[in-house]
């Protein structure tokens, strides 16, 4: 199997995960928002997260399926999955109460430990897809990220 085919397969898998999760959150919006508001670590941002996460996941799905936006979508997916994974770890190790705000077919049936394991696997798959991306496009993305960073915004003159 070619590198491009492996990356495409990972992107399809990610797209299915994000569609399931994003639509699940939208279909069960009230419950999703209520569960987020019960979280000891994100309750202050529950409204923002409830309105922001589902569209972000669905937009990432479209971006992952387009060759033109795939690399940026993979970086955004890595950030999102790493954030989700860190949140789950913090909740498991520090929280006295574990509300479940996971929606979709996959999320509702998993316990916290299994969810952490699945998120780690998905994060590793995203890293694999990034490593398989053509170097020429990766360099362009790195240049763009550098230009957007605080050090890249400073004038060289």
Residue 79: CB atoms within 10 A of its CB come to 11
Residue 113 has a pLDDT of: 86
Q: Quote the pTM value.
A: 0.79
How many other C-beta atoms can be found within 10 angstroms of the C-beta atom of residue 4?
Answer: 12
**Average pLDDT for runs of 10 along the chain of length 157:** 90 94 90 87 86 95 94 96 92 80 66 88 95 70 60 53
DSSP state letter for 45: G
């Amino acid at each position: 199997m070619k590198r491009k085919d492996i990356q495409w397969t990972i992107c399809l898998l990610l797209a299915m995960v994000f569609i399931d999760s994003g639509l699940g959150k939208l279909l069960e919006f009230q419950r999703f928002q209520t569960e987020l508001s019960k979280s000891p670590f994100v309750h202050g941002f529950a409204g923002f997260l409830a309105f922001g996460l589902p569209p972000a996941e669905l937009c990432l799905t479209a971006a992952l399926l387009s060759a033109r936006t795939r690399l940026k979508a993979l970086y955004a997916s890595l950030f999102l999955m790493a954030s989700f994974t860190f949140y789950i770890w913090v909740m498991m190790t520090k929280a006295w109460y574990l509300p479940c705000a996971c929606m979709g077919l996959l999320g509702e049936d998993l316990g916290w430990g299994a969810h952490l394991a699945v998120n780690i696997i998905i994060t590793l798959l995203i890293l694999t897809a990034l490593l398989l991306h053509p170097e020429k496009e990766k360099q362009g993305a790195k240049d763009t990220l550098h230009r957007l960073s605080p050090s890249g915004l400073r004038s060289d003159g």
